[in-house]
Amino acid sequence: MSKNSSKTIAAVAMLLCICTILHAQERVNASRTENSVKVEIMNTTAQSTKSSGQLSRESFEEDTFPPAGWKKATNFGGTGWARGNVGMDVPGFSPGSVFDAPPDGGQFVAFTSWLTGDADGSLTTGQQTAQWLITPRIMNVQNGDTLRFYLRYFLEYGDTLDVLISTTDDSTRSFTTKVATLAFSGPGNNEWKQYQFTLTDFVEPGSDIFIAFREHVANTSVEGDALFLDLVEVTSMVTAINERLEGRSHFQLYQNYPNPFNPETTIRYNMPFKGQALLAIYDLTGRRVAQLEAGVKNAGEYVIRWDGRDSAGNSVTSGIYFYRLEVKSSNGAVVVLTKKLALVK
C-alpha cells in the first residue's frame, strides 16, 4: 500500500470519527432541548392552572341575608337590599304584584325597591338614595374571568343600577371603577335578563376585587322601581373553555379591533342559534349613543363597523364607550354581553 493511500485511509477514519462525535453531541443537545421544552411546558401548565378569581354562584336560597361574606349598606339608613320569596307580594306594590320564579328555579331572589330605599319611610324627602349589595372579596382576577348575573325589574320610574368594582376594600367610597350603569325604561324590559362582563376590561390581571350592585332610587317622594337580582357568579376562562368543550350553546362578543381606534373600529359577535339581536353603543352614563344592529339573526358570526358617529350622524367625542349585545331567543331567554372600547382623536 502506498504512503498516499495510507494517508487517505487515515483521513477518512478521522472524518468518520468526527461525524460520530458530532452526531452524539446532537443527540445530547436534542435531549437537553426536549427536557427544556418539557420544563417550559410544565411551567406554563402550572401558570395556567393558577387559582383564578371566582365567585360561586349565589342564588340567595340560604336563610341568612346577606349571604355569608356579602354585605349591604344604604346611604340614608333605609333597610336596603332584602330577600324576596317567590309568589309573595312585592313590598310597596299593589296586591298581586308578586315575585316571579328566578330563571334557574328556586324560591328566593335578592331585591330592592323605592320602599327599601326610603330612609324615613314617609315618602316626603324627595332625595335620591343609594342601596348597596357587595360581594365577598374575589381573589386574583385573571384574563377571561367573567361576572354573570340575572336582573329583572318592575315599572320604569328612572331608577338605575350601577355595577362597580373596588380593588381595595368593601367600603362604599372605595368603589371607584364603574363597570356599567343599567337604566330601566321602555316596554318589554321587565323580564329576566342575563348580563356578562369580562372583569379584566376594568381591572388589571392579578387584582383582588369586590363587586357592588348599587341601586339608585331617583326620588323617594314618589313611587319607583323594584329590582330583582339572582344567580350572581364570577367564572374563570377555564370554566368557559370547559363549557364550550361540553358543547353548550355559546354567545360570544369579541373585543373590537383596533382599540383604541380612530376613526373606525370593527366589532364581531357570534350567534349559536337564531334569535332577536340588538347591538348598540352606550356612553359612561348608560345613555345609548348609537344603534348598530337590530333584528332577527340566524346562527353564525357577524362583523359590524362603527365609525364613531351617533344615531344622528354626528361624530362623538373622544372617550370610553361600551358596546352591548342583547339577544333574545325564541323561548324568551335573554343574554346580554358588554365590552368596553376607546375612541381617541
Q: Where are the domains of the chain?
A: 12-49, 55-238, 249-343
CB 77 within 8 A of CB 32: no
- Of 48 and 277, the structure prediction assigns the larger pLDDT to 277
| Backbone torsion region of residue 104, taken as left when φ is above 0, otherwise alpha when ψ lies between -120 and 50, otherwise beta | alpha
Say if domain 249-343 classifies as CATH 3.60.15.10. Answer: no
| Backbone torsion region of residue 342, taken as left when φ is above 0, otherwise alpha when ψ lies between -120 and 50, otherwise beta | beta
Measured in whole angstroms, the distance separating CA 43 from the mean position of its chain's CA atoms is 28
C-alpha cell at 300: 353564525
pLDDT band at 88 (very low <50, low <70, confident <90, very high): confident
State pLDDT tens for residues 169-219.
999 999 999 998 887 665 444 678 888 898 988 999 999 999 999 987 766
Mean pLDDT comparison of 88-92, 95-99, 198-202, highest-scoring range: 198-202
State pLDDT tens for residues 139-149.
999 888 889 99
CA separation for the pair 26, 37 (Å, rounded): 16
10 CB-contact burial (10 Å; exposed 0-12 / middle 13-18 / buried 19+): exposed
Centre a 10 Å sphere on the Cβ of residue 328 and count the other Cβ atoms it contains. Answer: 18
Give the angle subtended at the CA of 174 by the CAs of 168 and 177, to the nearest 5°. Answer: 90
C-alpha cell at 34: 426536549
Query: Rounded to the nearest 5°, which phi and psi values hold at 47?
Result: -70, -40
Beta bridge partners of 83: 110
Structural class in CATH, domain 55-238: mainly beta
The secondary structure element, H or E, covering residue 182 is strand 177-183
pLDDT band at 77 (very low <50, low <70, confident <90, very high): low
Q: Which amino acid is at 153?
A: Y
Edge-first strand listing for the sheet containing 265-271 = 252-253, 265-271, 300-306
Beta bridge partners of 127: none
What pLDDT sits at residue 70?
95
**Up-side HSE of residue 159: CA atoms within 13 Å toward CB?**
33
What pLDDT sits at residue 156?
58
pLDDT band at 101 (very low <50, low <70, confident <90, very high): confident
Percent share of the chain, pLDDT over 90: 32
Does residue 30 carry a pLDDT above 80? Answer: no
What pLDDT sits at residue 273?
81
| Backbone torsion region of residue 155, taken as left when φ is above 0, otherwise alpha when ψ lies between -120 and 50, otherwise beta | left
Percent share of the chain, pLDDT over 70: 69
**Alpha-helical regions (H) of 139-214:** none
CB 344 within 8 A of CB 261: yes
**Up-side HSE of residue 283: CA atoms within 13 Å toward CB?**
12
